[in-house]
Amino acid sequence: MSTVGKAITCTAAVAYEAGKPLTVEEIIVDPPKAHEVRIKVEYTAVCHTDAYTLSGKDPEGAFPSVLGHEGAGIVESVGEGVTNVKPGDHVIALYTAECMKCKFCKSGKTNLCGAVRATQGKGVMPDGTVRFHNKKGEDLLHFMGCSTFSQYTVVADVSVVAIDPKAPMDRACLLGCGVTTGYGAAIKTANVQKGDTVAVFGAGTVGLSIVQGAKVRGASRIIVIDLNQGKKDWSFQFGATDFVNPSTDLKEGETIVSKLIEMTDGGLDFTFDCTGNVHVMRDALEACHKGWGQSIIIGVAAAGEEISTRPFQLVTGRVWKGSAFGGIKGRSDMGGLISDYMNGKLKVDEFVTHERKFTDINEAFEDLHHGDCLRTVLDLSK
């Protein structure tokens, strides 16, 4: 029986309270309104940012909500006026929308889009209402415009892209955030060139995806810095030339900054923070080469945190910038990333260290805190 135009009851993992496990329960998902798309989510991974918001450290975090933003699925139905996807399309949800019409989209300067960001940050659809309700009749908020921790979700049409149906969704879902963010940060935001020197702080999925982007571009040196020795082998597997563990590899009187400057004859062309730690962000800036080194902030820091350095670091030519979703325009660029993956140029499968059924989602959050996990992929059919 067709579900088009009807509310769907399905299983979701609801975040009722900061710092508490998710509640796996049946919820009701309304049909899509105009310019909205209802997706049957097939697979989702858990990103560090989901854990960050669940922890209560996200100033935009609101509860009760349906988290999740690294998901792939199949369009179940579309609202009036939707032309970019159709029922049956395989799709990836986009936490960075691309409307192609707003000031941001038309600027040619950024991948940030202004079309739905304000409502997205409040956990509601562009019309200010929600499509999720629990069985008590309470409204549940959306998250990052995606809410992939539900068997069905509703997103704005500007927040979804169709992909090659031959791409396996249990892997392509990682292009919804981690892999795209890191790879894009290297090849778009930084635009690393052949021979450049690169340092990556934090060897999670984001950091290791920067490593592979830097390798594709022919960087001469790719130094990974992580406190977890277990990340060393992975770093080399993705293309690092060096691995430094600041807790074991620094000599008396040496700092991570002085070591990196010494290793690279004055500092790096590009450094990236993928830890969300503001002290690491400072080190990453100060390890840049005088005159031209650029440090890219990707990690998400908790509410109230601030970055600092001596202004002289910038006066003398180092540049601090940031990157969201790797500077990638989701609707325009995703096809190319999927092709790169399918052609073997972009590693994605290698990040899937754990696979679980959806109902074990709280274990997937636990996985994130263990050094042996890059990504856990959840199968929403189980």
Ligand X SMILES: NC(=O)C1=CN([C@@H]2O[C@H](COP(=O)(O)OP(=O)(O)OC[C@H]3O[C@@H](n4cnc5c(N)ncnc54)[C@H](OP(=O)(O)O)[C@@H]3O)[C@@H](O)[C@H]2O)C=CC1
Ligand Y SMILES: N[C@@H](CCC(=O)N[C@@H](CSC=O)C(=O)NCC(=O)O)C(=O)O
> Which sequence positions are flagged as catalytic?
47-49, 69-70, 99, 102, 105, 113, 117, 177, 375
Binder among 12, 177, 224, 284 for ligand Y (CB under 6 A): 177
Under the binding rule (CB under 6 A), the answer on residue 228 touching ligand X is yes
Out of Zn ion, ligand X, ligand Y, none, what residue 59 binds, judged by CB under 5 to 8 A for its kind, is: ligand Y
Tokens representing residue 69 in the block: 């933003």
Which residue carries 């696979």 as its tokens? 355
Which residue carries 């029922």 as its tokens? 87
Give the contact letters, 48-67, x = binds to ligand Y (CB under 6 A), - = no.
Answer: -x--------xxx-------
Give the contacts of 298 (CB within 8 A, at least 6 positions apart): 181, 182, 185, 206, 210, 272, 273, 274, 322, 323
Cα(191)–Cα(203) distance, integer angstroms:
20
Name which of 76 and 273 has its Cβ closer to Zn ion: 273
Where does the chain show beta strands of DSSP type E?
8-14, 23-29, 36-45, 70-78, 90-93, 132-134, 139-140, 152-156, 160-162, 197-201, 221-225, 242-244, 270-273, 294-297, 319-322, 352-357, 375-379
Helix (H) or strand (E) holding 151: none
Under the binding rule (CB under 6 A), the answer on residue 264 touching ligand Y is no
Which residue carries 């892997």 as its tokens? 171
Name which of 105 and 160 has its Cβ closer to Zn ion: 105
Where does 168-318 show beta strands of DSSP type E?
197-201, 221-225, 242-244, 270-273, 294-297
Under the binding rule (CB under 6 A), the answer on residue 325 touching ligand Y is yes
Give the contact letters, 18-57, x = binds to ligand X (CB under 6 A), - = no.
Answer: -----------------------------xxx--x-----
Out of ligand Y, ligand X, Zn ion, none, what residue 276 binds, judged by CB under 5 to 8 A for its kind, is: ligand X
Using the rule CB under 5 A, give the single segment among 93-101, 240-248, 260-268, 338-346 that binds Zn ion. 93-101
Using the rule CB under 6 A, give the single segment among 14-22, 114-122, 173-181, 210-218 that binds ligand X. 173-181
Binding site for ligand X (CB under 6 A): 47-49, 52, 177-178, 181, 201-207, 225-228, 231, 274-277, 280, 298-300, 323-325, 371
* Interface contacts to Zn ion, rule CB under 5 A: 47, 49, 99, 102, 105, 113, 115, 177
